[in-house]
Amino acid sequence: MALKRKAGIPLYLQVKENLLQKIDAGTWAEESLIPTESELCEEYGVSKITVREAIRILVKDGRLSRKPGKGTFVTRPKIEQKLNRFFSFTKWALQNELQPASRILRVEAVACSRHIAKHLGIPEDEQVCRIERLRLGNGEPLTLEVIWVPCRICPDLHLHDLANVPLNDILQNEYGIQLVRATESIEAATADEYLARQLAIEKDVVMLHVEHTAFSRGGQIVYFVTTSYRGDRVKFSIELSVNRNG
């Protein structure tokens, strides 16, 4: 079925909108292969250049993904994370109808590096508990966390069930530490070989890198954590309000 050409609207945009309508209508299931470029050219009565540009836009928008040697596939909707409150992976996963799980990759007491000491506000070489854990939803790796907690604040932290009990709950229930605020920074990054292997993605894929510092009452820094999120599965959102006082 060739397109009904609309004056003033480029053909590639018309193809893109028609493909998007089919994706939204469920014509192609999530993670399913869409027709080849040649088949789409025949269906719409347009050139390969037109089809490729339409697909390029949908890939950029995260609605399609290309797999070399395999074709173009419909992507799964990204999981939204709101940034206006303390984050709980378990609650976030359950809210998105995912079964949460954690896999502890490493827990060790190490001497604090200069970089981490700066984030924690402690002397270099002070002992910290370093926790590396993979967070999964329905068995699929979604994030990789590396957490640093000063050992003098939380001695024997490694003895607790860090795979199944939220860290913030352990801090409050076992150490009497109540978190009151946090700071976060977010930037784009690419997956190195180790991250790619742990998160089951390709090397150099774009990711979301978050650095989070948590504070207790009195302004004491309790922990610093870096989290690498799969960019193909997670998106962030934040709600803003208007300051009517200028």
Q: Nearest to residue 63, comparing CAs of 90, 34, 95?
A: 34
Query: Cα–chain-centroid distance for residue 178?
Result: 26
Domains defined for the chain, CATH in brackets: 11-74 (1.10.10.10), 79-237 (3.40.1410.10)
Q: What is the pLDDT of residue 40?
A: 94
Residues 122 and 127: their CA atoms lie apart, in Å, by 10
Q: What is the pLDDT of residue 147?
A: 98
- Which residues pair with residue 73 across a beta bridge? 33, 65
User: What pTM value is reported for the model?
Assistant: 0.76
pLDDT 10s per residue in the chain (246 long)?
A: 566 777 678 999 999 999 999 998 889 998 899 999 999 999 999 999 999 999 988 887 778 888 878 899 998 888 888 877 778 888 888 888 889 999 999 999 999 999 999 999 999 999 999 999 999 999 999 999 999 999 999 999 999 999 999 999 999 999 999 999 999 999 999 999 999 999 988 888 889 999 999 999 989 999 999 999 998 888 888 887 787 765
Give the per-residue pLDDT at 97.
87
**Widest pairwise Cα distance in the chain:** 71
pLDDT at 1: 55
Please name the helix (run of DSSP H) or strand (run of DSSP E) that holds residue 184, with its range, or none.
strand 179-190
Contacts of 157 (CB under 8 A, 6+ apart): 129, 131, 149, 151, 170
The predicted pLDDT at position 153 comes to 95
Mode of pairing for the β-strands spanning 206-216 and 221-230: antiparallel
Residue 210, pLDDT score = 94
Model pLDDT, residue 246: 57
